[in-house]
Amino acid sequence: MSLFRSRPMKHYNLVVPRESAWSVMDRLGYLDQLHFVDYDATIPMINRPFANYVKRCDDSLYKITQVETFITKFNKKVIRCTNVPLLLEQFTRNLQSRDKAPHTFFDEIEQDIEQKRISLMDLINNFENLEEKLQNYNEQLQVLKSCQRFIFQGFRESADQIEDRSQPGRMKLNNIIGVIDKDDEIRFRRLIFRVTKGNIWLDIFDLDPNDALQKKLDNNVLRAIFVIVYPGIEEQSLIKLKLGRIVDTFSKTKFDLPKATGEYQKKILDIENVIMETRNLIALSRQQIESQIEQLIIKSVTECSLIEELRLYVVREKYLYQNLNFLRMQGSIFSGHFWLPEGEFDNVEQALRNLNSKQDFIPTGQITEVVLPKHMKPPTYFKLNIFTGVFQEIVNTYGIPRYQEVNPALFAIITFPFIFGVMFADIAHGFLMFLCGMYVIIFHKTEAPDSLFKMLAPGRYLIALMGFFAFYNGFIYNDFLSIPLNLFGSCYDLVEKVVDGKTEEKWEGPREGCVYPFGLDPVWLASSTALTFINSYKMKLSVIIGVAHMLVGILMKGVNSLFFKNYIDFFCEFIPQFLFMICAFGWMDFMIIFKWLTSFTPQDAPGLIPTMIDQTLSPLAEPKAPLFEDPIQQRNWSFMLLCIAFVCVPWMLWPKVFLLSKKSKPYDKVDDIDEERLQQDQHKLFGKSEIDLDENQEINRLLIKHHSGHSVQSSANHEEHDFSELFVHQIIETIEFVLGGISNTASYLRLWALSLAHGQLAEVFYNMFLAGNIGTGGVVAGFMTAIFYYTFAMMTFGVLMVMDSMECFLHALRLHWVEFQNKFFKADGYLFVNFSYQKALTESAQQEQ
């Protein structure tokens, strides 16, 4: 019964010498069964013995991410790991094939990664430099070509004038040509204008963006050529200096135009040549990079890329060190505690012994069982599978079960889909949902990874079960898309009668001895009082289901208190609570069923609600419309049950408070004994280390203080305080239970309400879209029906199958979390986190995918 209660845990102490700490932890990582306890969670990670290693692993991971970004930049894909066990095997093989100590393998890997990163980065830097250079040359070429087009004439003139300064009256011109970012153009224009006050000629035009080389590898920035022509050719003129400064702040690329025509052509040719060369170089270096990347991503024996293998090794290493950090360093040994499920000890021991025989030169760790310190609660561990996992998840979302307490997930496996089914009851809808669940169950492996069905995969069994129960309850309510099905032949007959000259059709029956075998007789649903009948029927069913559900919850409280040997709770809480529930609402259920099973004439039929009210308000009066044949008997019964229920209230309230406050007195004594025992245990364990002992004593002292409060100082005062606290607490508990009994029962009426809403919606869709159009006939009606059928199907899918199922799910969740679980579920446990490579690597690999 591993799902009923969490697995029993044992607390062990692990002592390993420093030299073999790595190997021991490594071995334990394969076992998947240990939960390491952090010896002091307040110590920041940075102050722990292996913080440095964790940091190194992080660095390596960061480097790997860098390499991976390079890889994606070149449109290559890393093959992610899907077969973790195979990979782990490969790791072990790799480690065993080396003759050095296994923990040094990480050093090699670290260097390997660094070297790979650097070599790749060098190549890529080189590549990018080349591209930049190419871009630069290309810009130069474009500048030359476009400038040739329109200012060449003027330039030659100005060049001539340098030699001939004697000619007065002609403006002497100089120029600056360069390339800037297109985005800067307006600012550039404005600045130039403001500085020169418009005394220059400036033209800016775009570089051809369609030029293949214009596109840079990563950023596709538009560039533009500017040409400034300004007066004055002196080297030191103010305007030249100013312009120079401005141009410097905008771009680093300025070009000088050759002065003579011949040079011009030659330069263009030169640059074209250089561009050709650079292109070849780029192609070459691209090839080089790609071949390097190819090596990194090639699929190896472990069905994933080399780089992924490296990454997961580092992840593994980091995980190991993180867990090693939970141990405490004492000189040359590490000691720490871990939890282990009962019965697994032999496996662990065996594993360590194997390690010992393989490497006989180092001592391996020692494991001893430790008596559980009082303040420590063991973790909650269930062995789950894909089927139970989802139900456990529903419970865990509310709260992790306390160690070894009854796990509500076990009941949820049936009650959750069933309660959902009561609300979602419809043969067709339920069946569709069941089909959907079955589809995912069968095909979830072959679905595409981004398929919607894949998303449903974790809850596939839940969906199938919910569908099944909705289907089943649909039969009970006899509801098929709001149409009652006459599957077994109704017990009523349609009779034609002539009344006052008109023929009337009337249902007559039921036939003598005829019982509709399963679910509701369809004729009920066709009658004019269908809704009234159905409502009362569903309401009563909901209350019956609700009370049964809650009674199970209360019973589990009893089971829990017996299991934990908490007899005060058993006798002072469980029993009165159970009696109260039975006497108040059990009696109501009984009356409902009793009324169903007895036939009354319509006049005599007792109303259940008036009966309930009367028997509470005037318990001794004879019932007006008796349910039992003998009204006195009924009165006696109801009076007795009422009395029991009333007695239960103070029973819940008082005895527990008194017993507990009495019990709290001898606390100090108990703890003294405990302390002694604890100390003895610790002597055994930490015999050598005095410091440790002191610390433990400190903890014990604190604990005892905590338990006994400040009783030493003022015990009378303290007691009173304690008593009143207990009393207030118990009052709250009692009130909550009694009022909760009523309100929770009422809360189960949502089973009826949701089912009513579902049924009515289905009916509206059916009447609006289908029923009205089927009868018309003719070709037009055929078309109309096609269109309306489509609308009907979409509405049914969208509103009922998606939205309403969501709503029913939420209400089922609420009924479990609140109405059921508040009866017994403490939910203050914490999860068992096993130290498992398998888990760590799978998570990491999935995250990357």
Partner 1 sequence: MDLCYFAVDDGYAEAIIRGLRAGFLNEAQYTQMKSCTSIPELKSFLEETDYQNCLQADQPQIATSLLRQRLKKKLADEFDYIEAQATGTLSKFLFHLRCRFMIDNVVNMIEGLKNKIDIEVLLSNIDPLGWFPEIKNIKVLEGDDYANLYRDVLIDTPIGVYFMKFLDESIENMHENRTMNDIQNLFKEMKPEYIRTSLKKMWLEDFFRYSEENLPQTSKEGLVSLLKFEADFRTIQVIYNSIGNRDLNTVARIQTTRKQLCPTIGTLYPDCERQYLAAAQLEALREAVKGTENYRDLLKDAPDPLKREEFNVSTRTLDDIMYDEECRRYALAFDGQGSYAVFYAYLKLKEQEIRNIVWLAEMISRRLAKNHPGWKKIIIPFSHLRK
Task: Using CB under 8 A, list all residues that contact partner 1.
Answer: 44-46, 51, 55, 58, 62, 184, 187, 190-191, 194-195, 242, 245-246, 248-250
* Smallest separation, CB 224 to partner 1 (Å): 16
- CA torsion sign, 148 to 150 to 151 to 156? positive
43 versus 442: smaller Cβ distance to partner 1: 43
Mention every residue, 6+ apart, whose C-beta is less than 8 A from residue 122.
none
* Smallest separation, CB 44 to partner 1 (Å): 6
**In angstroms, rounded to a whole number, what is the distance separating the alpha carbons of residues 427 and 449?**
31
* Smallest separation, CB 191 to partner 1 (Å): 6
Helix and strand numbers (H, E) in the chain are: 30, 11
194 versus 706: smaller Cβ distance to partner 1: 194
**In angstroms, rounded to a whole number, what is the distance separating the alpha carbons of residues 735 and 820?**
17
100 versus 194: smaller Cβ distance to partner 1: 194
* Smallest separation, CB 249 to partner 1 (Å): 5
Mention every residue, 6+ apart, whose C-beta is less than 8 A from residue 580.
644, 645, 648, 649, 652, 737, 738, 741
185 versus 303: smaller Cβ distance to partner 1: 185
**In angstroms, rounded to a whole number, what is the distance separating the alpha carbons of residues 22 and 25?**
5
Residue 698 CA neighbour count, 13 Å, CB half: 6
Strand partners of residue 35: 339
161 versus 251: smaller Cβ distance to partner 1: 251
Helix axes 608-617, 587-597, angle to 10 degrees: 140
* Smallest separation, CB 106 to partner 1 (Å): 18
250 versus 338: smaller Cβ distance to partner 1: 250
* Smallest separation, CB 349 to partner 1 (Å): 36
10 versus 242: smaller Cβ distance to partner 1: 242
Q: 248, 106, 116, 227: which is closest to 174 by C-alpha?
A: 227
Tokens describing residue 410: 């076990």
* Smallest separation, CB 58 to partner 1 (Å): 8
* Smallest separation, CB 242 to partner 1 (Å): 7
Using the structure block, give the residue that is written with the tokens 């004994």: 673
β-pairing verdict for 502-508 and 493-499: antiparallel
Tokens describing residue 654: 């008082």
* Smallest separation, CB 194 to partner 1 (Å): 5
* Smallest separation, CB 56 to partner 1 (Å): 11
CA distances from 699 to 363, 676, 679, 703, 707 (A): 31, 13, 11, 6, 12
668 and 711 Cβ atoms separated by less than 8 Å:
yes
**In angstroms, rounded to a whole number, what is the distance separating the alpha carbons of residues 736 and 742?**
10
**In angstroms, rounded to a whole number, what is the distance separating the alpha carbons of residues 292 and 306?**
12
242 versus 595: smaller Cβ distance to partner 1: 242
**Residue 352, number of CB atoms within 10 A of its CB:** 21
188 versus 769: smaller Cβ distance to partner 1: 188
* Smallest separation, CB 216 to partner 1 (Å): 20
161 versus 196: smaller Cβ distance to partner 1: 196
124 versus 463: smaller Cβ distance to partner 1: 124
Angle at 276 between CA 274 and CA 279, to 5 degrees: 110
* Smallest separation, CB 54 to partner 1 (Å): 10
β-pairing verdict for 35-37 and 333-341: antiparallel
Reported as type and span, the H/E element at residue 11 is strand 9-17
* Smallest separation, CB 217 to partner 1 (Å): 20
**In angstroms, rounded to a whole number, what is the distance separating the alpha carbons of residues 353 and 189?**
81
β-pairing verdict for 328-330 and 333-341: antiparallel
* Smallest separation, CB 659 to partner 1 (Å): 41
* Smallest separation, CB 377 to partner 1 (Å): 25
**In angstroms, rounded to a whole number, what is the distance separating the alpha carbons of residues 268 and 140?**
9
55 versus 156: smaller Cβ distance to partner 1: 55
**In angstroms, rounded to a whole number, what is the distance separating the alpha carbons of residues 431 and 472?**
9
* Smallest separation, CB 848 to partner 1 (Å): 18
359 and 23 Cβ atoms separated by less than 8 Å:
yes
Question: What is the SS3 string spanning 161-228?
Answer: HHHCCCCCCCCCEEEEEEEEEHHHHHHHHHHHHHHHCCCCEEEEEECCCCCHHHCCCCCCCCEEEEEE
**Is residue 481 helix, strand or coil?**
coil
Using the structure block, give the residue that is written with the tokens 């080189």: 126
46 versus 620: smaller Cβ distance to partner 1: 46
